[in-house]
Chain A
Amino acid sequence: MKRTDEQPAPVPPLPSLEPLRLVAPDGSRVSGPAFDSPDHSTLVALLRAMVIGQRFDNQASTLARQGRLAVYPSSRGQEACQVGGTLALAQRDWLFPTYRDCVSLVSRGVDPVEVLTLLRGDWHSGYDAETHRCAPQCTPLATNASHAVGLTYAARRRGENAAALVLMGDGATSEGDAHEAYNFAAVWNTPVVFLIQNNHWAISVPVREQSAAPTLAHKALGYGMRGYHVDGNDAAAVHAVVSHALAEGRSGAGPTIIEARTYRRGPHTNSDDPRRYRDEDEARQWAERDPVQRLETLLRAEGLLDDGEMERIEAQAEQVASRVRERVATDGRPTPSELFSHVYGSAPALLARQRQELLGEIQEG
């Protein structure tokens, strides 16, 4: 379990400077890949989840502009990371998402409206963490990473071989909590995959001002774990590498850092203006490497997708969006007395009094 032998841990190979790819940006297969491609049904599932995720993301952005959400951090452009990573999880595994990982949660099967509860401002987390095996979305950077380490350690103690996928951004790797989590995971040899979505911008700070490492995956070496550098706009590659890392982790090989190079096409949130800090040519260039388009091209070329199937997927995505629109407008809002309901297991007298005070205020109008 924990490494107890006196032998030094094997030195993992350096991550490649060139990101691992299974599918080229033009949608053609990459020759001689280091990883096996996901099977056909998985590739179609990845496309479906990306199309649905992208439609959900667009809908949420629109709702934010309409003032129906308090804020929305779009992950447009990062669909391959969101979906490729999440679909690699087994049901027993846990997902540790951040505020930008709504599409990941939708792919995990969480009710899309429950995903938006946080961003509508109704409650801090709208879904049942236990049921979905998804931790609440984390706003502080990198603080959720050590939770995943502890959780997988506990799972192993209970004889359950659950692995965990931690989603983090490039900026989060600068935080002290990231270092502590990587180090604990490596020392305890727990099956955690840290998927760094390098979307190039931590709000307005470019990744070159964030880290001097050759790739963010190189950080793995110093902790004694494996690191992979993958094309974050290639859903097949992200899925393959994350699946591999999860399987290795479960079989006792410990944690992995994966840097997925991708791009945040939109603003940091709907209240951000990226024109103040980045060249829009850069965003246009990345738009040409669209992850959804890439996989669709491949599937069509290989005869795994036709117009009919694509229309069915798009209709499904449209249904998701329309349910979100409707329910965000009509679903019930939390009641004020709930403010005091979830602070302690049994409410201290102080909170019971404050609850009465609030209810009195409300009754008096």
Chain B
Amino acid sequence: MGEISLARALNQALRDALAHDPDVLVYGEDVGRLGGVFRVTDGLASEFGSERCFDSPIAEAGIVGTAVGMAMYGQRPVVEMQFDAFAYPAFEQIVSHVSKMRNRTRGSVELPLVIRIPYGGGIGAVEHHADSSEAYYAHTPGLRVVTPATPADGYSMLREAVEAPDPVIFLEPKRRYWNTAEVETPLRTEPMEQAVVRRAGEDVTLLAYGPMVATALETAEAANETGRSVEVIDLRSLSPFDDTTVAASVRRTGRALVVHEASTFGGYGAEVASRVTEACFHYLEAPVLRVGGFDIPYPPPALEEHHLPHVDRILDAIDRLQWESTWVPAQSPPPERPDATAQHPSRPEARA
């Protein structure tokens, strides 16, 4: 196909999945005649008909709930949530039913469905259009949570997600939709539950996924100029987590840094850091660090560049990985002691 974008690769994956299996259905708000707000479903309705690719009422719980019923009856629905924060009304369906149907029915009902969620920031969108909600899904047993970072993976992982016997939360890094690469489809990249080394290095392992893989690769290039050899791993599958590939890299480099857009506190990076520490403790030269978004609601677009991890911030974190044996905890001064003499202005005695 030559040079294609991630969005186009995903589109081709859906097209090939629809052609390959008559039980595959694609639906959601605006996916039919518009072809999706990001055009990922462009042309599918006209090619396969409105029974195979169609617009639904704008109701995410209903979209996912009906997909549960369709999968119970042997279909393979692929539904779109349009934007990350729009999926929250469907959260109960995802957590209480999608993830648990196999388990509740002792394996007698499986739900081979895919929930596509364009996620993350960096496109200058207003609020509720830039959340990174991966930790909610990764924390839910019964779901597979994957996120491609390249056009090739976009194609291959989506085909694999549609064919998987389990429900898959398919997180699409929307700010990479227009990134292009040479891709010849159909192709199969590595199995989707496997992490992949995107750039080999010796001194530190950068662990990234989705939108941050490209940023991590840029960082590695910049670090290289200062003589530091950085390995970049694209996790690809957030659940299950590929301990094997990650541990092999970190044991070799002795230093690990997790990068993601989502708020850092209680985030997916904490899980990765903990697992890496357990598996590699005796090999580590420094604590596993995280570079994530600040612990704030996703900011307005005018400020998002300050919030999102960028190359300089990641380079700074690499510097903190005890290069000269002078590691100090990251910029958190001890809390100031409250001044016992000061009175809170809202208290009546302060106003008196």
Chain A interfacial positions (CB closer than 8 Å to B)? 1-2, 123-125, 128-130, 135-136, 140, 143, 145-155, 157-158, 176-177, 180-181, 183-184, 187-188, 338, 341-346, 348-350
Cα A136 to Cα B64 in complex, Å, equals 17
Chain B residues near A140 (CB-CB < 8 A): 92, 96-97
Binds A, one of B70-78, B175-183, B305-313: B70-78
B142 pairs with A150, CB closer than 8 A = no
Contact for B72 among A151, A187, A343, CB less than 8 A: A151
Write the nearest CB–CB distance from B11 to chain A, whole angstroms.
Answer: 23
Write the nearest CB–CB distance from B279 to chain A, whole angstroms.
Answer: 12
| Nearest chain B residue, comparing its CB with the CB of A147 | B69
A146 pairs with B69, CB closer than 8 A = yes
Contact for B70 among A123, A153, A345, CB less than 8 A: A153
Write the nearest CB–CB distance from B335 to chain A, whole angstroms.
Answer: 37
Contact for A150 among B57, B65, B103, B109, CB less than 8 A: B65
Chain A residues near B73 (CB-CB < 8 A): 150-151, 154-155, 158
Chain A residues near B346 (CB-CB < 8 A): none
Cα A346 to Cα B110 in complex, Å, equals 12
Give the 3 A-B CB pairs with smallest separation, nearest first: A150-B69, A146-B65, A150-B66
Write the nearest CB–CB distance from B113 to chain A, whole angstroms.
Answer: 10
| Nearest chain A residue, comparing its CB with the CB of B108 | A128
Q: Which of B171-200 contact A (CB under 8 A)?
A: 193
Known: A151-B73, A349-B240. A146 touches B62 (CB 8 A): yes
Whether B243 sits at the interface, judged by CB under 8 Å, is yes
Chain A residues near B65 (CB-CB < 8 A): 143, 145-147, 149-150, 177, 180-181, 184
A154 pairs with B70, CB closer than 8 A = yes
Whether B44 sits at the interface, judged by CB under 8 Å, is no
A125 pairs with B105, CB closer than 8 A = yes
B141 pairs with A152, CB closer than 8 A = no
Chain A residues near B93 (CB-CB < 8 A): 143, 146, 177
Chain B residues near A342 (CB-CB < 8 A): 102-103, 105-107
Chain B residues near A183 (CB-CB < 8 A): 57, 59, 62
Cα A241 to Cα B165 in complex, Å, equals 39
Chain A residues near B69 (CB-CB < 8 A): 146-154
A150 pairs with B68, CB closer than 8 A = yes
B62 pairs with A343, CB closer than 8 A = no
Chain B residues near A135 (CB-CB < 8 A): 72
Whether B223 sits at the interface, judged by CB under 8 Å, is no
Write the nearest CB–CB distance from B170 to chain A, whole angstroms.
Answer: 16
Cα A275 to Cα B66 in complex, Å, equals 39
Write the nearest CB–CB distance from B274 to chain A, whole angstroms.
Answer: 13
A123 pairs with B166, CB closer than 8 A = no
Whether B128 sits at the interface, judged by CB under 8 Å, is no
Contact for B104 among A1, A136, A146, CB less than 8 A: A136
A146 pairs with B106, CB closer than 8 A = no
Cα A339 to Cα B60 in complex, Å, equals 31
Cα A342 to Cα B108 in complex, Å, equals 9
| Nearest chain A residue, comparing its CB with the CB of B97 | A143
Cα A146 to Cα B166 in complex, Å, equals 20
| Nearest chain A residue, comparing its CB with the CB of B65 | A146
Cα A140 to Cα B25 in complex, Å, equals 27
Known: A135-B72, A150-B68. A343 touches B108 (CB 8 A): no
Of listed A125, A154, A350, residue having the most chain B CB within 10 A: A154
Write the nearest CB–CB distance from A127 to chain B, whole angstroms.
Answer: 9
Cα A155 to Cα B69 in complex, Å, equals 10
Contact for A345 among B50, B74, B89, B110, CB less than 8 A: B110
Whether B51 sits at the interface, judged by CB under 8 Å, is yes
Of listed A146, A149, A177, residue having the most chain B CB within 10 A: A146
Cα A125 to Cα B102 in complex, Å, equals 10
Write the nearest CB–CB distance from B341 to chain A, whole angstroms.
Answer: 51
Chain B residues near A180 (CB-CB < 8 A): 57, 59, 61-62, 65
Chain A residues near B72 (CB-CB < 8 A): 129, 135, 147, 150-151, 154
Additional pairs, 9, CB under 8 Å, beyond known A147-B68, A153-B66, A184-B65: A129-B109, A146-B66, A149-B66, A150-B70, A154-B73, A180-B57, A180-B62, A183-B62, A184-B57
**Contact sample, A vs B, 14 pairs, CB 8 Å cutoff:** A2-B50, A124-B103, A128-B105, A129-B108, A145-B65, A146-B66, A146-B93, A147-B69, A153-B69, A154-B73, A183-B57, A345-B164, A349-B243, A349-B244
Chain B residues near A155 (CB-CB < 8 A): 73
Q: Which of B130-149 contact A (CB under 8 A)?
A: 141-142, 144
Chain B residues near A345 (CB-CB < 8 A): 102, 110, 164-166
B92 pairs with A177, CB closer than 8 A = yes
Cα A136 to Cα B70 in complex, Å, equals 15
Chain B residues near A157 (CB-CB < 8 A): 25, 51, 75
Whether B83 sits at the interface, judged by CB under 8 Å, is no
Whether B67 sits at the interface, judged by CB under 8 Å, is yes
Cα A349 to Cα B107 in complex, Å, equals 19
| Nearest chain B residue, comparing its CB with the CB of A146 | B65
Cα A61 to Cα B248 in complex, Å, equals 57
Cα A150 to Cα B96 in complex, Å, equals 17
A129 pairs with B97, CB closer than 8 A = no
A341 pairs with B107, CB closer than 8 A = yes
Chain B residues near A2 (CB-CB < 8 A): 50
Cα A129 to Cα B144 in complex, Å, equals 23
Cα A180 to Cα B61 in complex, Å, equals 7
Write the nearest CB–CB distance from A132 to chain B, whole angstroms.
Answer: 10
B105 pairs with A184, CB closer than 8 A = no
B142 pairs with A344, CB closer than 8 A = yes
Cα A288 to Cα B43 in complex, Å, equals 63
Chain B residues near A188 (CB-CB < 8 A): 66
Q: Hey, what's the 0/1 contact readout for B94-130 against A, CB within 8 Å counting as 1?
A: 0011001111111111100000000000000000000
Q: Hey, what's the 0/1 contact readout for B46-65 against A, CB within 8 Å counting as 1?
A: 00001100001101011011
Write the nearest CB–CB distance from A241 to chain B, whole angstroms.
Answer: 23
Write the nearest CB–CB distance from B245 to chain A, whole angstroms.
Answer: 12
| Nearest chain A residue, comparing its CB with the CB of B51 | A157
Q: Hey, what's the 0/1 contact readout for B232-269 against A, CB within 8 Å counting as 1?
A: 00000001110110000000000000000000000000
Cα A143 to Cα B164 in complex, Å, equals 24
Cα A352 to Cα B67 in complex, Å, equals 29
Q: Hey, what's the 0/1 contact readout for B22-34 against A, CB within 8 Å counting as 1?
A: 0001000000000
B56 pairs with A184, CB closer than 8 A = yes
B75 pairs with A130, CB closer than 8 A = no
Cα A128 to Cα B107 in complex, Å, equals 9
